[in-house]
Structure 1
């Protein structure tokens, strides 16, 4: 059935939302003194976005002209993006962690005419660049440099200019919005790719509006919800959620400070939170290690509760009845154990969504056992992020759920997932050959992911096509599957990377979670030691090896891990080992830690 989308564009959807609920809470942000959230209504957000739009028009921005935003997730990012849309322009997103060389490339390749930068430090990333298309730099924070080239001004200045223009011509923005069509460019998002230059993905208004309506249709977002949005807004996952927020009208607290997330959940008390698996892994690690370090009765009660919860979930997943006795035991487990975790997450969670990378099946089962089911979803930058998701109340662990709206999906002869529909990109910016190669002859987008569809339309991702490892013995191995299993077994792990391409056996690089490993070391000979000292110790290696033995018992012979190396530090975005959406960049990891990998393949194999 065709999904009915009653909007021509994002700003059309936005203006309709303002008209429908001008006094309703729209977006919240931290107070300047961090004393709590400050909320703006849809009417207030509309006033500011329109002023920015008028200001951008005054700087020469017209239909589909690109405006780059280089900033962290914050309220001003949202308002600036809406301002760009209402001006008829298209937003080029740049991650705040992007290095100057790549930031310059993205701004140049996109043909962006204006850069909205978070502060002078972010703006300095392009200070020595030759960017003939760029006419102005707008600073969210900090003072404009009067001698800078291109010309600088502050966001407040831009907003003031726009407000003055609207005082003279109150209907300006409405006339502009009338001219924006569904097939106009809305966003250029550059894929962070594992190799080479990033590619600009051209996403249209029609696709984003489709995303907003589709999220509401499946019950992911509801008007009575409260969302905590911390995801990078430079990423398609964050952008698609914004579209859902505008269509549905639910209040959303915007705060990209990850170090504040756990503490603020108890303050904001959201009903909806979406994130990458790493966030849920950290909550899982903290829960398990806290119980284990408590020892004695506390550890036993925790283990019993988890077993009880997983037994109940397994029966529900299999469609089998849950006995009265098990229901009683589960109520007790929830009271003694799971209620504490629920409270830590604010006590009101209705929906949690995981996307951007694979979620371990065992970690998903843990959260479901705690009555905090995670709706794992699936999508790509090229397909506007939201393509498949587990509906609330219809969770199938190990899958990414069913297709949103009227999205078409088919599985190619080699297992590759192919997608066709409104949210699929127009193409790669300035790359006609790569665009042509990304589509089948009948218009399906080649995702590069391998998967299976069951009879009910639930999709299971088995691996990235290009990440499948083929050993020298000719066996194919799915690294992410093994890595997910290991993360669920070992609560002290931060990252795991399986190595084995063209090798005669598999090895693994791991990093340890600083908080979890410090708790593990407490009370023993390593207490008080630095992170580097703990991870280099024989005790830590023995602990990691023990969990690897457990892992190997669950694997096929050719998948087993023969050697494992603990790295001296965690993988980072800054070192090029992870994308900003927290996906591992395998080739970069293998390059940066080539010596460690070579060491695991030198000489004879030591079986674990």
Structure 2
């Protein structure tokens, strides 16, 4: 199939904007808890009415500070309650939010502030304040900077006392669906970040058409603990969805203490990227083997996957499989769910392929992962597996209101109200991806089956063509290798080379346990063991498993273990944990050359 369209279930009117649910919720359910706000004393509830009042108070402060309709206001902070509050306050004052990752470099901060023409900026910490101060001369339009941790929000609200609340009503009423809501700068796996201009219609249409098919997640009784960066469009859409559906949301950026936070908050669903799901699975597997319960876990894993696979077959799981599943639910699965807080039954995954095996494993233990696909330019969700329409191994059908077309070269094209209008100040880049009919060229490769389910097969620019002319999409191989508990990242190489090879990094959390199992001192480094036979044998098993999914010509023939893992700080990862292939190829050019005898 070359094209598949799903008609919209919700149409956004010309006067609608993203602040509408905040006011609707405060009027219809003022005492319903909308947020649980993290404080030093624990979680404190914020009702719908309280949130609306806080948004109004801060929006009045922005008006008093001189923010005009259409002004760009930057926001540089970790995921926290104030991020959401500021976002809605900017919109309510008629402004445009420009998110900046809190890990951004000075050069990135300067570029985003200057390119967007931001007149004001919120920062979280002293470090962020210094980053902005250090580039102030490069951003002449920037007039004001407020810091969350120093009490500037309270001062801004006091300043807003001179502004009538009715002014916020006037500002909100003047914002329509076609007005710009946010400019989100791509994390830049290649080149300088581009500002994606998203309107209120783009985002509102995306989430309003997704909610009916994900009722378990987006309903008043549901809750989620958001830990992905809100500067990323994926987390931002979930924020809007939770507010729209009047569910409960908490925020945390402390990923190292995520399990205790999940157990305290007890969400009914979580949002994550495949790397986190891989970590949960790998950690549980490794711990079980370390505690001498490896055989039990391995059997439980096999039963979970078989049970999930049987759910998609006529008649479902047989009696014997049901009995085994019930046994392991008591022995293993319940403990895994407890790590997520005990109430989590659903999850959303995006940003990269999850892999069918991992999806079946989680569904088999009682946590259904709804895998989806999208890009910042598409607000971001294009397709997702819905409650009544799941096909594991795919990213689902197009969301209502979206049309997907597969071009002759396999590229995924997208059309609908979710497609962005332009790259800010960059008409040439816009023309490269948007045609006159409104089709967006995603740069991703995919296939549609006869029922409209989309499978991602790779990235157009990442496609490897070997010296023998074989086209190889690296994603499939990389995803399978990363599934191994000891592996952190993988980059497949081989463009214009005689065979396919791979660069592999070792997971820092798994490394100490491997050293102990192998009988090596706990202070040993990966660099000291990268050529060790035991370590290479372990990675070879992961490579062999990955090679089963491809032809002999596409299989990895050689791999090299790198001395260090990829990190955002060293430049190989984006803030959303995507690998910057260009940086890896440049940094490890000698390693690649050595593979091919260069």
Q: Normalising TM by the smaller chain, what interval?
A: over 0.9
1:553: how far off? 4.3
2:174 is matched with: 179
Give the equivalent residue in structure 2 for 1:195: 190
Q: Which whole-Å CA distance do the structure 2 matches of 1:225 and 1:384 have between them?
A: 23
Q: 2:11 aligns to what?
A: 4
- The answer for the alignment partner of 2:100 in structure 1 is 94
The aligned residue for residue 4 of structure 2 is none
State the 1:482 CA deviation: 0.4
- The answer as to 2:345 corresponding to 1:350 is yes
Q: In 1, distance between residues paired with 2:78 and 2:283?
A: 26
Choose which of 257, 260, 264 in structure 2 pairs with 1:263: 260
Match of 1:159 in 2: 157
Write the distance in 2 (CA, Å) between the matches of 1:198 and 1:48.
32
- For 2:79, the equivalent position in structure 1 comes to 73
Query: 1:547, CA displacement in angstroms?
Result: 3.0
- Cα distance, 1:341 vs structure 2: 0.6
Distance 1:305 1:137, change over 3 A: same
1:180–1:544 Cα change, 3 Å: same
| Aligned-pair CA distance for 1:231 | 1.3
Q: Which residue of 2 aligns with 1:36?
A: 42
Written as runs of structure 1 = structure 2, the 5 A alignment for 1:386-465 is: 386-392=381-387, 394-465=389-460
- Per-residue displacement from partner, 1:55-104 (whole Å, max 9, x unpaired)? 11122212211000011111111111111000000001100111001110
Aligned position for 2:239: 242
Q: Encode CA deviations 1:308-329: one digit per residue, 9 max, x unaligned.
A: 2222222222445322122112
Distance 1:413 1:221, change over 3 A: same
Q: Corresponding residue for 2:127?
A: 121
Partner of 2:64: 58
Aligned to 1:576: 571
For residues 375-425 of structure 1, what are the alpha-carbon distances to aligned partners after superposition, in whole Å with 9 as ceiling and x for unaligned? 111110000112211113542111011222211211112111111111111
Shift of 1:107: 0.4
C-alpha change, 1:308 and 1:534, in structure 2 (3 Å) is farther
Query: Which residue does the alignment assign to 2:271?
Result: 274
Alpha-carbon distance, 1:196 to partner: 1.7
Specify the alignment match of 1:149 in structure 2.
none
Matched, 1:205 2:213: no
Relative to structure 2, which stretch is displaced further, 448-457 or 200-209?
Answer: 448-457
Verify the 8 A CA contact 2:466 2:494 in the aligned structure 1.
yes
Contact 2:477 2:547 in 1 (8 A): no
Matched, 1:544 2:542: no
Of 247, 251, 257, the residue aligned with 1:254 is 251
User: 2:34 maps to which residue?
Assistant: 26
Q: Does 1:515 align with 2:509?
A: yes
Displacement, 1:202?
0.2
Between the aligned partners of 1:94 and 1:376, the Cα distance in structure 2 is 26
Query: Does structure 2 conserve the Cα–Cα contact (< 8 Å) formed by 1:51 and 1:161?
Result: no
Bigger mean CA deviation after superposition, 577-586 or 12-21: 12-21
Asked if the contact 1:92/1:189 (under 8 Å) is kept, the reply is: yes
- Write out per-residue CA displacement over residues 433-461 of structure 1, whole angstroms, 9 at most, x where no aligned residue: 21122123321111111111122221111
- Secondary structure of the 1:526 match is coil
Q: Is the 8 A contact 2:395 2:454 kept in 1?
A: yes
Does the 8 Å contact 2:305/2:361 carry over to 1?
yes
Secondary structure of 1:68 counterpart: strand
| Structure 2 residue matching 1:203: 3-state secondary structure | strand
Q: How does 1:200-349 map to 2 (within 5 A)?
A: 200-218=195-213, 219=215, 220-295=217-292, 298-349=293-344
Q: 1:512, 1:535 within 8 Å by CA — same for their partners in 2?
A: no
Counterpart of 1:127 in 2: which secondary structure? helix
Whole-angstrom CA distance in 2 between matches of 1:359 and 1:92: 29
Post-superposition offset of 1:228: 0.9
Partner-residue secondary structure (3-state), 2:94: coil
- 2:523 counterpart residue number: 529
SS of match in other structure, 2:19? helix
Of 200-209 and 254-263, the range deviating more from structure 2: 254-263
Deviation at 1:534, TM superposition (A): 6.4
Q: How many residues align?
A: 585
Counterpart in the other structure of 2:495: 501
CA RMSD in angstroms comes to 1.7
In structure 2, distance between residues paired with 1:126 and 1:299: 50
| Residue 137 (structure 1) aligned to one of 124, 142, 145 | 145
Give the drift of 1:527: 4.3
Q: Secondary structure at the match of 1:259?
A: helix
Separation in 2 of the partners of 1:521 and 1:580? 29
Q: Secondary structure at the match of 2:218?
A: coil
Q: Is the 8 A contact 2:36 2:45 kept in 1?
A: yes
Question: Which of 104, 111, 126 is the matching residue for 2:110?
Answer: 104
Deviations along 1:164-186, whole A, 9 cap, x unmatched? Answer: 124xx231111111110111000
Segments of 5+ residues of structure 2 without an aligned counterpart are: 1-6
Q: 2:3 is matched with which residue?
A: none
Q: Is the 8 A contact 1:535 1:566 kept in 2?
A: no
Structure 2 counterpart SS, 1:420: strand
Task: Look up the match of 1:147.
Answer: none
SS in 1 for 2:443: strand
| Residue number in structure 2 paired with 1:384 | 379
**2:55 paired residue among 43, 49, 60:** 49
Deviation of 1:537 after TM superposition, in Å, equals 5.8
**Contact kept in structure 2, 1:470 and 1:477, CA below 8 Å:** yes
Query: SS of the counterpart of 1:387?
Result: strand
**SS of residue in 2 equivalent to 1:292:** helix
How far apart in 1 are the matches of 2:30 and 2:525?
A: 51
TM-score normalised over the length of structure 2: 0.94
Superposition deviation, residue 259 in structure 1: 1.2
Measure the CA separation in 1 of the matches of 2:570 and 2:517: 33
Contact map agreement 2:56 2:165 (CA 8 A) in 1? no
